[in-house]
Amino acid sequence: MKKLFLLLLTAFLFIGCSSDDDTIYDYIGTWSGKYTGSDDGTWNLVVASDGKVTGTMHSTVNDENYNISGNLTDTGDLTAVIGLPDDGEFKGTLSREKKGNGNWSNAVPTPARYGTWTGDKK
């Protein structure tokens, strides 16, 4: 009986402690980095426990700030809009290794601007 109990306990531990479980909690916190392309600057995001994302982009070219708002999935897929109302997109991936990257576009100011972004969790 004791061996059976130990066998079941061991099996439960292997099943219950999988490191591949996707959870939003790995991403909660502050992320920041740089963006480049037809505009460049810095960005900052905060990921909340419900997956909501809020933040800003600061253009060093125009010396302006743009709001970022959107959502993050349990697997780290980021989908956000730039500006209020929606003037552009800020999309990409955040990883469990605390790195992020993706693409951005912004129709304000004209002409439309676009490029890539990279960053990490602080």
User: pLDDT tens digit string along 6-33?
Assistant: 444 555 444 444 445 678 999 999 999 9
The Cα–Cα gap between 62 and 54 comes to 21
pLDDT tens digits along 84-104: 778 999 999 999 999 999 999
Which of 2.60.120.260, 1.10.3720.10, 3.40.47.10, 2.40.128.120 is the CATH number of 29-121? Answer: 2.40.128.120
Residue type, 48: A
3-state DSSP call for residue 10? helix
pTM of the full structure: 0.81
Q: Which residues contact 89 (CB under 8 A, 6 or more apart)?
A: 79, 80, 81, 82, 103, 104, 105
The Cα–Cα gap between 98 and 39 comes to 25
Rounded to an integer, the average pLDDT of 34-51 is 97
Q: What is the pLDDT of residue 15?
A: 46
Task: Please state the domain extents for the chain.
Answer: 29-121
